[in-house]
Chains A and B, each alone.
Chain A
Amino acid sequence: MKKILAIGLLVPVLVMGYVYVFVYNKSHTDYANTDPEFELKAETLYNSFTDSNDSKKYLGKVIMISGVVSSVESTDSTAVVSINFEEGMFGTQGVRCNMLSPYVLMKPGTEILVKGLCSGYNDTDVLLEYCTIKKY
């Protein structure tokens, strides 16, 4: 009887513990160690948002892109590597890669392979976040 009572108490506690740790407090995805689902040119990615309706498959996915760095800027929280393709009403437009590390030493003109999470397009740029450089 005692055994049944103990198990009857233990099981709900374990379930609640599991839910708390693995569901409610589940950790953010480790994007640096996630394999990319797609590999493509930065320009193809940009055009998929601006010219074609091909962009949905990249949204919310970890992807790897290749391209030539146009600029590197530091913001308060991160470094942003931009690969630009055109001039819009409010400046350059292209792919903006928010780097995981704020320390990015890279010159414009460098060819890079960068991996990150594609968060979408804000009518000027395609945004990649949690980015890591794979090759340059």
Chain B
Amino acid sequence: MNKIFLFILITFSLSISAQKYVTKSGMVKFSSDAPLEKIEATNNNVMSAIDLSKQNVVVKILVKSFRFEKALMEEHFNENYMESDEFPNSTFKGKFIDAPDMNSNDIQKIKIEGKIVMRSISKPLVIIVDVKIEGDAIKIDGKFDVKIDDFSIGIPSAVSGKISENLEVFFKFNLKAL
């Protein structure tokens, strides 16, 4: 009788354990370290969701929400480079290659494979992220490089010296159980 009770209890607790994790205030920052000027922008309104049952990861970035130190840079970024009225969102959709161990308190290095879509151009992306489980939250952070050429962003020759060919992208998400 006790065994049956235990079995039901375990099944029940497994079925109610969270599968979906979400944040709407994730951080994505990019920087370009060119000889003339450092260009940096941060977005603190990034939406990210994980569905553990399918090992899916989704990230949505509202391009207009990147903040620069200089107003002129922000203007150029939206109007000339990202054309954010036409392409308002950049996205990443991928999968965890290995499922994170939800019972571990250590930082886990986990590979994610997927596709990044910017300006309607899709490119594959494979990254290794740091995952940390804290109570009912999943913390993920990492970085990767984006080649400006890959997304046909036209940099006028007058400023091409100011912007490096690669952008370093950093991200930090604190996803809470839904």
Identify the A interface with B (CB < 8 A).
23-29, 59-60, 73, 75-78, 80, 89-91, 96, 98, 119-125, 127, 129
* Residue ID in chain A nearest B27 by CB atoms: A76
In-complex Cβ contact of A28 among B20, B61, B62, B71 (8 A): B71
Beta-carbon contacts under 8 Å, B56-112 to A? 60-62, 64-65, 70-72, 74, 84-85, 88-89
Provided the pairs A119-B64, A124-B60 are in contact, do residues A26 and B47 lie with their beta carbons within 8 angstroms? no
Q: Are B72 and A129 within 8 A (Cβ)?
A: no
* Residue ID in chain A nearest B20 by CB atoms: A90
Q: Are B24 and A29 within 8 A (Cβ)?
A: no
Q: Are B25 and A122 within 8 A (Cβ)?
A: no
B172 → chain A closest CB, angstroms = 9
Q: Are B64 and A123 within 8 A (Cβ)?
A: no
Give A121 to B24 CA distance when docked, in angstroms.
12
Query: For residue B60, which residues in chain A have a CB less than 8 angstroms away from its CB?
Result: 122-124
Give A27 to B89 CA distance when docked, in angstroms.
26
Q: Are B44 and A119 within 8 A (Cβ)?
A: no
Query: For residue B84, which residues in chain A have a CB less than 8 angstroms away from its CB?
Result: 120
Q: Are B71 and A122 within 8 A (Cβ)?
A: no
A-B contact pairs, 24 of them (CB 8 A): A26-B71, A27-B71, A75-B25, A76-B25, A76-B27, A91-B178, A96-B45, A98-B45, A119-B64, A119-B65, A120-B65, A120-B89, A121-B62, A121-B88, A122-B60, A122-B62, A122-B89, A123-B47, A123-B60, A124-B47, A124-B60, A125-B24, A127-B62, A127-B65
The secondary-structure label for the interface of chain A is loop
Provided the pairs A23-B72, A24-B70, A29-B71 are in contact, do residues A120 and B24 lie with their beta carbons within 8 angstroms? no
Provided the pairs A91-B178, A120-B62, A123-B89 are in contact, do residues A76 and B44 lie with their beta carbons within 8 angstroms? yes
B120 → chain A closest CB, angstroms = 15
A59-B88, A91-B178, A119-B65 given; 13 more Cβ-contact pairs under 8 Å: A24-B72, A76-B25, A76-B44, A90-B22, A120-B62, A121-B62, A121-B88, A122-B45, A122-B47, A122-B61, A125-B47, A127-B45, A129-B45
Give A120 to B60 CA distance when docked, in angstroms.
12
Give A29 to B70 CA distance when docked, in angstroms.
11
B22 → chain A closest CB, angstroms = 5
Q: Are B24 and A96 within 8 A (Cβ)?
A: yes
Q: Are A120 and B64 within 8 A (Cβ)?
A: yes
Q: Are B22 and A60 within 8 A (Cβ)?
A: no
